[in-house]
Chain A
Amino acid sequence: MLLQRFHLNLEEGGKNIMLQSNELQAIYVMWLRQMKRFVRSKSRLVSTILQPLFFLFILGSGFRMASFPDMHVDYLSFLAPGIIAMAILFSSMFTGISILWDKQFGFLQEVLVAPISRFSIILGRTFGGATTALVQGFIILIIALALGVHIPGILNLFMTIAFMILIAFSAVGFGLVVASKLEDFQGFQLIMNLLIMPLLFLSSAFFPVSDQPVLYAISTVNPLFYMVDGLRGSLLGTANVYPPGFDFLIVLGICALLLGLGSYLFNKSEI
């Protein structure tokens, strides 16, 4: 069995040299498709940008006088990285999940019978999803900066971007995992409401993590917490719990795990 698989890889590996331009084209096509769909779907464009902005403005002005222990910054600055993370998360997850659409509308079959590896399909799709999510993240970042959020230095900006990219890739990976396991969209609603929303509330995106021992324990195993905390530490240089470098390593691990698992499950899935 192992020998057989090795043989298989060898054979496909030999062909890869010949097919390389093919695979690059496939990645490009998958990416371009995401871009075109994103730009054409006006309602999605508007809602995915407006929703986080509403959060930013309404929560930001509603709680502008609020102050939490160890916050060190005004509430709007505290909130901004949380909202950026949220926007990227939702948008990327949506891309991962949208494989379900392709499954339902049959387009996935067209891609799967093409002479391209599934790895290229995943890669192109992930890049596409991450790009759209990052576009949204940057729009919110720019608005937050215009509203007076202050970035201490250029290094902080680069760290922020690095976190944004990692969050985007992780969320696409998570979406892929979910899409490989689910048959329809009902389950997706359930996962959003019962898993993602609570984790988001416990991630310090909107308010600092609780001192209450149980909630605190949950936060320490909450992947979203490290994403938000790292993003905040990078962007503001303060108000974070752990050093951004530490958060970065954890998020990198989460990202690798989710993307790996997502591609593995997608690879295994049959239509």
Chain B
Amino acid sequence: MVIVVSIIQTDHLTKIFDDVHAVDAISFSVEKGEIFGFLGPNGAGKTTTIKMLTTLLRPTKGKAIIADADIKTQRNKVRKSIGVVFQEPALDIELTGQENLDYHARMYGIPRDLRKSRITEVLTLVDLLQKKDKLVKVYSGGMKRRLEIARGLMHRPKVLFLDEPTLGLDAQTRHAIWEYVKRLNKEEETTIFLTTHYMDEAEYLCDRVGIIDHGKIRVLDTIDHLKNVVGNDVITVSCSKQEVFQSHVQNISWVKNIKHHDSFLTIGVEKGEEKIPVLITMAQELGITVHSISVHKPTLDDVFLHFTGHRIRSQDENNVAATLPPQFRGRR
């Protein structure tokens, strides 16, 4: 029997900013050695959760234990066992890469003889050894990110927090960073807690994901389990009289689930390609026009849609539109 040890444990963790429940009573645990992801759109409460867990923000209510230390009363103990890579770069750009790491090592009390070897070690890991004496302000975005990840590893944290680790990076750098994260998790056995709003990132990296929306965890499970809930195959149908069609389809025995979204239906089934003709025939008998129909293997995107009722990307675009002054809306 495998004994599961949780390294992060939260209990109704809550943060309220002026009546807004940014994080609303979330309870979850992260096991030692896993890559755990928080998936959700911008403003879902991911960063606020990380800031509470890393002792930057005090929770309004609830509690959390990280590596046997309470985030409210044993802040220094928590800080010693964690490494953090923030969403926004947190480097001193007027210093060199080497200096940034050296200062970090000193603040974490790494003895002098270890400092040098650790710096070389982590810089090699992220491929920045040649650039160590350059000022960080001449680094590219990807290099800065890699330097931050290297810095997060310097003191061998038990848990490494990565807040949107590949936000705004090009495809090549993203893949390189994913590889580092995987290697790190395997070789150093570092537990990794990451947040992302990229489906592919969560799918590629995470052992388990929590889907978070409006400060609440909608669902939390392994990616395989989550996809199973949606069905082996997902059929997307766009047609007339969707309500009528839905009421008929949901009585079919092989339909695992059916959901009605704005302009389409999603149906979770097995062997989707064999079910399409059946559905089309059925629609014709009901006098319903099918505009389009497609089948695909479920992705995390479908899971997200299933549990939150909206797609992660459209929500993002809506948010952008809402923050733009009216004269600029619609230009994006």
Q: Which residues of A contact B (CB under 8 A)?
A: 8, 11-12, 15, 19, 21-22, 25-26, 28-29, 32-33, 36-37, 40-41, 105-117, 270-271
> Given the complex of chains A and B, what is the CA–CA distance between A36 and B54 in angstroms?
29
> Given the complex of chains A and B, what is the CA–CA distance between A40 and B135 in angstroms?
10
Name the residue of chain B whose CB is nearest to the CB of A102: B92
Q: Which 4 A-B residue pairs are closest in the complex by CB-CB distance?
A: A106-B90, A22-B109, A115-B79, A110-B90
Contact, CB under 8 Å: A113 / B93: no
> Given the complex of chains A and B, what is the CA–CA distance between A66 and B91 in angstroms?
51
Question: Which residues of A sit under 8 angstroms from B84, Cβ to Cβ?
Answer: 109-110, 113
Does residue B169 face the partner (Cβ distance < 8 Å to A)?
no
Knowing A11-B73, A22-B109 touch, does A114 contact B104 (C-beta < 8 A)? yes
Does residue B121 face the partner (Cβ distance < 8 Å to A)?
no
Does residue B76 face the partner (Cβ distance < 8 Å to A)?
yes
Does residue B108 face the partner (Cβ distance < 8 Å to A)?
yes
> Given the complex of chains A and B, what is the CA–CA distance between A96 and B98 in angstroms?
26
Contact, CB under 8 Å: B109 / A115: yes
Knowing A25-B109, A111-B107 touch, does A36 contact B94 (C-beta < 8 A)? yes
Contact, CB under 8 Å: A271 / B107: no
Contact, CB under 8 Å: B95 / A33: yes
> A28, A41, A109: which contacts B106 (Cβ < 8 A)?
A28
Contact, CB under 8 Å: A26 / B107: yes
> Given the complex of chains A and B, what is the CA–CA distance between A107 and B92 in angstroms?
6
B89 to chain A, nearest CB (A): 6
Contact, CB under 8 Å: B103 / A270: no
Counting chain A CB atoms within 10 Å of each CB, which of B76, B84, B108 scores highest? B76
Question: Which residues of A sit under 8 angstroms from B86, Cβ to Cβ?
Answer: 106, 109-110
> A12, A25, A36: which contacts B76 (Cβ < 8 A)?
A12
Question: Which residues of B sit under 8 angstroms from A12, Cβ to Cβ?
Answer: 76
Question: Which residues of B sit under 8 angstroms from A108, Cβ to Cβ?
Answer: 90
Question: Which residues of B sit under 8 angstroms from A111, Cβ to Cβ?
Answer: 107
Contact, CB under 8 Å: B104 / A110: yes
Contact, CB under 8 Å: B108 / A115: yes
Q: Which residues of B contact A (CB under 8 A)?
A: 51, 54-58, 73-74, 76-77, 79-80, 82, 84, 86, 88-95, 99, 103-104, 106-109, 135, 151
Name the residue of chain B whose CB is nearest to the CB of A108: B90
Question: Which residues of B sit under 8 angstroms from A29, Cβ to Cβ?
Answer: 103, 106-107
> Given the complex of chains A and B, what is the CA–CA distance between A271 and B80 in angstroms?
19
Question: Which residues of B sit under 8 angstroms from A8, Cβ to Cβ?
Answer: 73
Contact, CB under 8 Å: A41 / B104: no
Name the residue of chain B whose CB is nearest to the CB of A15: B76
Question: Which residues of B sit under 8 angstroms from A107, Cβ to Cβ?
Answer: 90-92
Question: Which residues of B sit under 8 angstroms from A109, Cβ to Cβ?
Answer: 56, 84, 86, 90
B184 to chain A, nearest CB (A): 19
Contact, CB under 8 Å: B88 / A106: yes
> B54, B73, B92: which contacts A33 (Cβ < 8 A)?
B92
Question: Which residues of B sit under 8 angstroms from A116, Cβ to Cβ?
Answer: 107
> Given the complex of chains A and B, what is the CA–CA distance between A234 and B104 in angstroms?
42
> Given the complex of chains A and B, what is the CA–CA distance between A19 and B91 in angstroms?
24
B76 to chain A, nearest CB (A): 5
